[in-house]
């Protein structure tokens, strides 16, 4: 295991860029996984990381030590650094000092929209995006398409909210949603407060595309016009609307219920 002890180390400077800059992560095609759970989930579903980083105080932790040993045995470059340097990279307060650097997955873009999918138009909040990814994975949905302007799916905040769901999904970013929806061979459903049909009245015992939009503005008008169905989620009139992540979870698991 190698060690880094200086902030002036070239590799440390590179890691700091990845940790603090979404642009650097996008440009390099890499991201960081912070914490034991994410690192274990990545190894389980996608294999070895490019780099393993451990803080000095966590190197012998009962959860961390087996992961580090596995990295060393596989030949994965493994770096140990003082806690102060590690915490400057980490965005997790009071977390266990284990981090992976991994290549951002690049799945093959489908020719048609023919499988259960989630389409996200300009979703801004990393927590909402991560929650939707987590719900989609739990509901067995495989493909998620994100428009230009949607939060970066592989940012540390989204990764933490997703709790490992990323590794069970095909995530496509910077997608032209109009072209995508034109290719749909299955129903496209969007939630709306201006419709009478509820989520419980529509036939979900089939593959569908779920379309969700910006937290405040909703789905853009041109994309909403491409939806084959609009549905509403019944709720008390005193509340104007549900959080987009909550709405998505209700939709996904109503589909699961109907399909059982």
Instruction: Please tell me the pTM assigned to this model.
Output: 0.91
The whole-number average pLDDT for the span 5-30 is: 93
105, 120, 145, 193 from 172: Cα distances, Å: 9, 10, 5, 28
Asked if 121 and 212 touch (Cβ cutoff 8 Å), the reply is yes
pLDDT band at 242 (very low <50, low <70, confident <90, very high): confident
Residues in Cβ contact with 191 at an 8 Å cutoff, skipping those fewer than 6 apart: 199, 212, 230, 231, 232, 233, 247, 251
Residues in Cβ contact with 84 at an 8 Å cutoff, skipping those fewer than 6 apart: none
Measured CA to CA, the distance from residue 104 to residue 36 in angstroms comes to: 18
DSSP-derived letter for residue 7 is T
Please provide the DSSP assignment of 56-100 as one string.
GGGTT-TTHHHHHHHHHHHT-EEEEE-HHHHHHH---TT--SEEE
Distance of CA 192 to the CA centre of its chain: 24
- Map residue 109 onto helix, strand or coil: coil
Q: What angle do CA 47, 51, 55 make, to 5 degrees?
A: 115
Q: Give all strands (DSSP E) within the chain, no chain letters.
A: 2-3, 30-34, 51-55, 77-81, 98-103, 117-121, 143-147, 170-175, 188-191, 209-213, 229-231
pLDDT, tens digit (0-9, with 9 covering 90-100), for 172-195: 999 999 999 999 999 999 998 888
Question: So what's the pLDDT on residue 236?
Answer: 83
pLDDT, tens digit (0-9, with 9 covering 90-100), for 99-108: 999 999 999 9
Question: So what's the pLDDT on residue 194?
Answer: 82
């Amino acid at each position: 295991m190698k060690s880094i002890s200086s902030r002036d180390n070239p590799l440390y400077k590179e890691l700091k860029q990845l940790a603090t800059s979404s642009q650097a992560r996008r440009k390099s095609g890499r991201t960081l996984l912070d914490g034991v759970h994410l690192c274990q989930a990545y190894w389980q579903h996608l294999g070895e990381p490019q780099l393993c980083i451990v803080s000095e105080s966590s190197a012998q932790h009962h959860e961390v030590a087996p992961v580090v040993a596995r990295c060393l045995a596989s030949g994965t470059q493994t770096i140990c650094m003082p806690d102060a340097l590690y915490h400057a990279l980490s965005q997790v307060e009071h977390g266990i000092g284990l981090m992976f650097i991994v290549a951002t997955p690049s799945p093959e873009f489908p020719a048609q929209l023919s499988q259960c999918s989630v389409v996200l138009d300009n979703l801004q909040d990393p927590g909402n995006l991560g929650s939707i990814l987590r719900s989609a994975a739990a509901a067995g949905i495989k493909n998620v398409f994100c428009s230009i302007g949607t939060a970066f799916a592989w940012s540390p905040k989204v990764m933490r909210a997703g709790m490992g769901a990323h590794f069970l999904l095909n995530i496509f970013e910077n997608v032209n949603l109009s072209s995508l929806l034109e290719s749909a061979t299955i129903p496209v459903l969007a939630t709306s407060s201006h419709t009478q049909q509820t989520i419980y009245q529509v036939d979900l015992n089939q593959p569908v595309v779920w379309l969700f939009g910006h937290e405040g503005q909703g789905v853009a008008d041109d994309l909403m016009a491409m939806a084959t169905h609009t549905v509403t989620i019944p709720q008390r009139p005193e509340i104007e609307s549900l959080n987009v992540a909550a709405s998505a979870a209700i939709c996904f698991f109503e589909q699961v219920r109907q399909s059982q």
